[in-house]
Structures are given as structure tokens and as C-alpha cells.
């Protein structure tokens, strides 16, 4: 099977223009087929502040009310997505910006939770690999914003990490998928404050040990759990590492590789 890179870029890169430019240059140079999934950075929060829309939090989790949904739709699917698309076009990388609603690539529903109403937050039912495969095979590189919709036409704010994972899983039927989570840290760290303590490789057994010994930073646990779930669903490889080191993540000279064995 042909290689496909499914690459998620974290929010911090989007907030820093120079870092974003440099990342997009690296991304455009990947000769293989690829999909980019992006978050939103701090721009949505900034815009909400400017408009006097207060962020609602329940148990530390952000609630997407109708005004916040409007903002994230504008920022993620509009400003951020189209800027990335236009910049990659100028690098001769022929991109197509998509939300989950476009070409019906992601089917989602409003989150149902026994005690908390998260508002307009989407959980993914399915990814439709066919249109994505068609775009990729016709030479287009999809750039995906974390906005989906339900079957009633309601837009929903959706976690970009989860979108990356679900797309990687769905595309594994057609490609040898490498899922790359690129963010601000160099990988999974033994000491969260020291970027030099990257663990080069984690398998299930080692992961259990690390968790037992509480050596893993709590924020990393969902990312690694997702990585194993992806591997169990046919994704070839999951790599977590620094966005600034994209080429080294791809050639395995940087970051943390999550593996079965």
C-alpha cells in the first residue's frame, strides 16, 4: 500500500506566523500523499474576548454555546483554514480546505453526556474515506478544520486530535497511514519540563509501566490512548513530536514513536 501521512498541527504553531510559515514549507516538501488537520490556536479566544463573549467552563472543560460556535466556525473553517490553504498553494502544494461537512467527509452528532451539556460539540460517528481518497488521488492535499455537522445541518465544534485519529483509521483501508501529532514539545517526555528527556519509542508494556510509575504527564495520556486505539484500527505508525521537526519526525530521527510491540 502507498504511504499516506495524516498530520495534525497543534494550536501554538498557528499563533506564531514565522513558525507556521516554516512548518508549511516543510509540509509542502513532503513528496508523499498527505492530509493536514489543524486546530485553531488562541485566535478564537481572542476574538471572543474582543466581542465580550465569555468562555463557559464546566469542570474545566470548555462549553461551546451558540456564540462560541459562530466564532470557532469563522476562525477555524474561515480564517485559519483559508490562510493555510493559500500559503500552501503559494508553495505549489495544491490544497483543498475542508470542514467535516464538506463532501460529507465526517458524520457527527451533538455530544450526549449524562450530566454535562457541552453545547455544540460534535462526536464523530464515521469518516467517509471515499471523497478524501478521490481528492488525494487527483493530486489534492486536504486541509481539515475541526468543524463538523450532524444530519440536521447543525455545525459542531470537534476535537482536532480526534478528527486526525478517525481520519487516519478510515484511510488505513486504502493506504499505509502514518499518523503524526505535531505540537510544541519534542515528544512524550519523562520529565515534562525537560525537552531532552524524549522517550523515543513506547509500546503497550512500557506504557503500562510508565503509567504505574506515574512518569507520564497527565495531559499526554489521552493522546497516547488515542494512538494505541489508532494502531489497533489499522494505522501503521503513530508519531508524537515537535512541529518544527516535521522532517525528522517522518524519518524517525525525532519524536516518540508509539508501537504495538
List contacts with a copy of itself (CB under 8 A).
50-51, 70, 73-79, 81-83, 85-91, 94-99, 101-104, 131, 134, 138, 140, 147, 149, 151-155
67 to 99, 135, 244: CA distances (angstroms): 19, 33, 33
CA 14 to chain centre: 13
In the numeric block, the cell 470537534 is attached to: 158
The C-alpha cell at 202 is 513506547
The C-alpha cell at 37 is 488537520
Nearer to a copy of itself, 46 or 252 (CB): 46
Least distance from C-beta 126 to a copy of itself, angstroms?
14
Nearer to a copy of itself, 86 or 126 (CB): 86
Least distance from C-beta 182 to a copy of itself, angstroms?
21
Nearer to a copy of itself, 49 or 191 (CB): 49
Q: What is the CA radius of gyration of the chain?
A: 18
Least distance from C-beta 4 to a copy of itself, angstroms?
19
Compute how many other C-beta atoms are within 10 angstroms of the C-beta atom of residue 222: 12
Nearer to a copy of itself, 31 or 153 (CB): 153
Least distance from C-beta 151 to a copy of itself, angstroms?
6
Nearer to a copy of itself, 4 or 85 (CB): 85
**Packed helices 221-232 and 160-171: angle between N→C axes, nearest 10 degrees:** 10
Q: Which residues contact 73 (CB under 8 A, 6 or more apart)?
A: 147, 155
Least distance from C-beta 224 to a copy of itself, angstroms?
32
Amino acid at each position: 500500500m502507498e504511504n499516506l501521512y495524516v498530520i495534525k498541527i497543534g494550536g501554538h504553531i498557528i499563533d506564531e506566523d514565522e513558525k507556521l510559515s516554516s512548518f508549511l514549507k516543510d509540509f509542502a516538501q513532503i513528496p508523499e500523499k498527505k492530509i493536514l488537520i489543524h486546530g485553531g490556536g488562541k485566535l478564537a479566544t481572542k476574538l471572543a474576548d474582543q466581542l465580550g463573549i465569555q468562555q463557559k467552563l464546566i469542570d474545566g472543560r470548555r462549553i461551546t454555546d451558540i456564540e462560541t460556535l459562530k466564532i470557532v466556525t469563522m476562525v477555524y473553517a474561515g480564517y485559519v483554514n483559508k490562510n493555510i490553504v493559500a500559503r500552501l498553494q503559494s508553495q505549489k502544494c495544491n490544497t483543498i480546505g475542508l470542514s467535516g461537512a464538506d463532501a460529507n467527509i465526517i458524520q457527527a452528532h451533538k455530544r450526549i453526556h449524562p450530566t454535562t451539556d457541552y453545547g455544540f460539540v460534535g462526536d464523530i460517528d464515521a469518516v467517509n474515506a471515499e471523497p478524501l481518497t478521490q481528492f488525494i488521488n487527483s493530486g489534492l492535499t486536504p486541509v481539515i478544520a475541526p468543524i463538523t455537522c450532524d444530519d440536521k445541518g447543525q455545525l459542531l465544534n470537534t476535537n482536532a486530535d480526534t478528527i486526525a485519529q478517525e481520519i487516519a483509521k478510515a484511510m488505513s483501508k486504502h493506504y499505509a497511514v502514518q499518523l503524526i501529532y505535531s505540537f510544541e514539545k519534542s515528544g512524550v517526555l519523562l520529565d515534562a519540563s525537560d525537552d531532552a528527556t524524549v522517550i523515543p519509542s513506547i509500546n503497550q508494556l512500557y506504557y503500562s509501566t510508565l503509567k504505574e510509575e506515574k512518569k507520564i504527564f497527565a495531559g499526554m495520556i489521552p493522546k497516547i490512548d488515542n494512538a494505541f486505539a489508532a494502531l489497533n484500527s489499522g494505522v501503521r505508525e503513530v508519531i508524537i513530536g515537535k512541529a518544527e521537526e516535521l522532517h525528522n519526525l517522518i524519518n524517525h530521527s525525532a519524536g516518540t514513536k508509539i508501537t504495538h510491540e
